[in-house]
Structure 1
């Protein structure tokens, strides 16, 4: 077998909305030697998500452009597929995520597909926790689906908070001060772990830091999705300064 010179262990195809500026940064930061990440972008014409209606429209744009993005990334002959977008993977709860994976698998010749929803679930199971708090950049219509997914997956969701960011591009503009304030607001003694969803929100380094002052796991969705992609493929690489999930599991 002939191996790619740079991706000699694996090539991962990653699909992101065209508005996303964070996933590629995070995959570059966490890529192990010999594993490369290659991005296909789903065209977003209208990035507004300042209401439930515009958020649903954003989801519909993602659905309409996903096939082309997958087609494009498959030309790199990837070994694995990682979905670098999260809201759609929570839509419809556990069954919705399972159906989504089946649809994507059919477009990528049956390659292994990792979603943000599946990855966060696996991460929480690795920590053996049940009582969680979740925050997102989303509108209420999406947070309902996030809540539904985690509840159906067997977790006790004590709090879900959406930052109600006005556009898909503005997610990347959420400041560390906003995130820290939100983490403190949703934390309580009963919460065993905190989960952040929304792949365009930069959180990997801050999640690692927050674990020290919160004293509990803080799961950033990009860290979880990269971790789950690599672990599912049998890679056991670990990382420092990117959260206890990537260091210890």
Structure 2
């Protein structure tokens, strides 16, 4: 159903002969394919989206399309090529000013580039690099209206720390993520806390006290937001 509406929005942008918005709709379709696990057309969609906006929108806006292509390449089994493309997206995000308007709905372009780069690095097993980029994304989002995305970025930062064996640091980071989720109810935040509890279960079995205390907080949070 979601795909049907995305395709309808794309049809309307074609009818209006609005190239940048055609690119926007195609980029959303590419991300939808990645989110739902249907990777077979995501690289083509990302390439088509980028072709519609290249040189026609401010550099920070273009960076969102370039990093979308990077994520698509990563999902298609080319993570190292994806990382090089993500580097170009970062350069674009930092090289100019201004936005196309609609791209600001999800916060600063640099934050989105950081988030997607972190996901690519996680796929490569570079958890230290992923931690750095998740932390940077959280800093960009913190203090803005994007509290939910800031909290999700912080939760992902904690997971990267956990993957490196930094148990105490991960628990402290996850605690900040739970703080940031106060008053938020969404499917993604609930899934993030469920995943957090799954990671904590392994840490509890190793006798980590901080893990037990945090798991209690996470359990209460899930109960209160049910």
The alignment's TM-score, normalised by the length of structure 2, stands at: 0.32
TM-score under structure 1 length normalisation: 0.30
Structure with the higher fraction of residues in strand conformation: 1
Greater share of residues in helix: 2
Structure with greater Cα Rg: 2
Report which structure shows greater RCO (CA 8 Å, sep ≥6). Answer: 1
